[in-house]
Amino acid sequence: MPLLIRFSCAAAVLAAGWLSFCAVPRVALAEVVLLKSGARVEGTILNPTRSKDDLVEVEPVEGLKVTLAATQVKTVLVQSKLLKDYEAAAAKMEDTLEKHLEMAQWCLDVGLSEQRKIQLADVLRHDPDHPMARAALGYLKVGSGWMTQNEYMRKQGYVLKGGAYRLQQELDIKARAEQWELDTKAWRKNVKMWFTWLKGKGKGADQAIENIRGIREEAAAPALAEAVADSSLPLELRLECLNVLTKFPPNYYGSALISVAMNDPEVEMRDKCLEVLREQRSQQALLTFVKGLQSKDNKVVNRSAQCLQTLGNPAATVPLIDALVTKHKFIISTGSPGGMSAGFGGGGDGLGSFSMGEKPKVKTFDLNNESVLAALNALHQGVNFQYDELRWKAWYIDSHTSPDVNLRRGE
């Protein structure tokens, strides 16, 4: 009959520590008793059907019983039967390569993945180059040695992040993007707050203007660009923001200025943005306005030509020639007998408005674009073929062909 020993909490911990090094044969460690002191006792619970306030009886090793007061115990972790079977078998198993392989296979069959890794590690202790054990533990054969996937990927410059391998440069870019997002949000909040100060008078308004003029951080550019594009704000404030904004690289605000130049209701604001785009020789603006020449909306065609005239870039010559006369669809409706009304508006779909009548029809008209011709005349002073696209193109080819080139064959 096992000897009954009643331990205090400290004594139990010392016993557990000593027992792990003694030569007394261990039984399968079935449960773990966590003590409120932070210590733990592993062993078989001898009174599993005890009540909540009963003593906890633990057998750390065969023949030795540790008794703990219920007030000392924080919780008892009960192991599964499979784990109990594993630990019982492992305690009696011979330390040979073959036995560890058999145990590893059994762990695989019953789903004890962590215990399988322990057995495979013991296999490698006996045979460091065992291919199956190496592969099962995630090793790769690299040259004459072995590396885990993590080790191999780290050597290639990859880092495991969020369950996937990524280059450190990629992580750095992502981190900078996330920081940029935080910074731009903070600046939007500040700029919005300063705008509210401007609604009052006195020191608050003066401080707001001073703060806006003192902006030097590029993360503030998106907030300033949004203010420049906001036609509901006072013109003077938008111009202040534009003046600060132009101190930053154009990639932060080019799209905003192009949009304002094309569509803003304030003439002065449109002109100021165009002036900035011209001074910067903006290729983005050039391409955007050239694309506008192909719009179904005739108003957009002519406004794009006006913007191109201000930019003054001869690269727009051929697209402007192609846009001298453009086709646009309009809805025609019959108003009353003997009469007809047509809408020559500029809707985004290229169809004009129309008065109510019977059986409206869609008709296509060729329209001469005065703003396009004006842009060509401004770009090439002294040249004017009106709306004759063929003569314009013939002139352009002739003026851009070297006199040493003979375009006629056989001569």
Whether 1 and 37 have beta carbons less than 8 Å apart is answered as no
d(CA 169, CA 158): 9
Amino acid at 42: E
Does 170 reside within a domain? no
Does 303 reside within a domain? yes
Specify the pLDDT at position 356.
53
40 and 130 belong to one structural domain: no
305 and 269 belong to one structural domain: no
244 and 196 belong to one structural domain: yes
Does 223 reside within a domain? yes
Q: Domain boundary at 280, 307, 330, which?
A: 280
304 and 359 belong to one structural domain: yes
Q: Domain boundary at 245, 280, 315, which?
A: 280
Residue reference for tokens 């003979």? 406
The confidence band for 288, taking pLDDT boundaries of 50, 70 and 90, is very high
Decide which of 112 and 242 is more confident: 242
62 and 104 belong to one structural domain: no
The answer on pLDDT for 20 being more than 80 is no
Mean pLDDT of the chain: 84
The confidence band for 357, taking pLDDT boundaries of 50, 70 and 90, is low
pLDDT tens, residue by residue, 165-213: 899 899 999 999 999 999 999 999 999 999 999 987 678 899 999 999 9
Specify the pLDDT at position 378.
96
390 and 362 belong to one structural domain: yes
Does 285 reside within a domain? no
Averaged pLDDT for residues 315-342: 79
272 and 319 belong to one structural domain: no
> How many separate domains does the chain show?
4
The answer on pLDDT for 21 being more than 60 is no
Does 18 reside within a domain? yes
The confidence band for 344, taking pLDDT boundaries of 50, 70 and 90, is very low
Specify the pLDDT at position 112.
85
74 and 102 belong to one structural domain: no
34 and 134 belong to one structural domain: no
The answer on pLDDT for 253 being more than 50 is yes
User: What 3 state SS string does the chain have?
Assistant: CCEEEECCHHHHHHHHHHHCCCCCCCCCCCEEEEECCCCEEEEEECCCCCCCCCCEEEEEECCEEEEECHHHEEEEEECCHHHHHHHHHHHHCCCCHHHHHHHHHHHHHHCCHHHHHHHHHHHHHHCCCCHHHHHHCCEEEECCEEEEHHHHHHHCCEEEECCEEEEHHHHHHHHHHHHHHHHHHHHHHHHHHHHHHCCCCCHHHHHHHHHHHCCCCHHHHHHHHHHHHCCCCCHHHHHHHHHHHCCCCHHHCHHHHHHHHHHCCCHHHHHHHHHHHHHCCCHHHHHHHHHHCCCCCHHHHHHHHHHHHHHCCHHHHHHHHHCCEEEEEEEEEECCCCCCEECCCCCCCCCCCCCCCEEEEEEEEEEECHHHHHHHHHHCCCCCCCCCHHHHHHHHHHHCCCCCCCCCCCC
Q: Domain boundary at 253, 280, 307, which?
A: 280
The confidence band for 19, taking pLDDT boundaries of 50, 70 and 90, is very low
40 and 129 belong to one structural domain: no
Specify the pLDDT at position 180.
96
Amino acid at 74: K
212 and 310 belong to one structural domain: no
Instruction: Report the predicted TM-score, pTM, of the whole model to 2 decimal places.
Output: 0.60
The confidence band for 402, taking pLDDT boundaries of 50, 70 and 90, is low
222 and 312 belong to one structural domain: no
The answer on pLDDT for 9 being more than 60 is no
Does 308 reside within a domain? yes
Averaged pLDDT for residues 277-292: 96
Does 324 reside within a domain? yes
Domain of 138 in residue numbering reads as 93-156
Does 163 reside within a domain? no
Averaged pLDDT for residues 320-334: 89
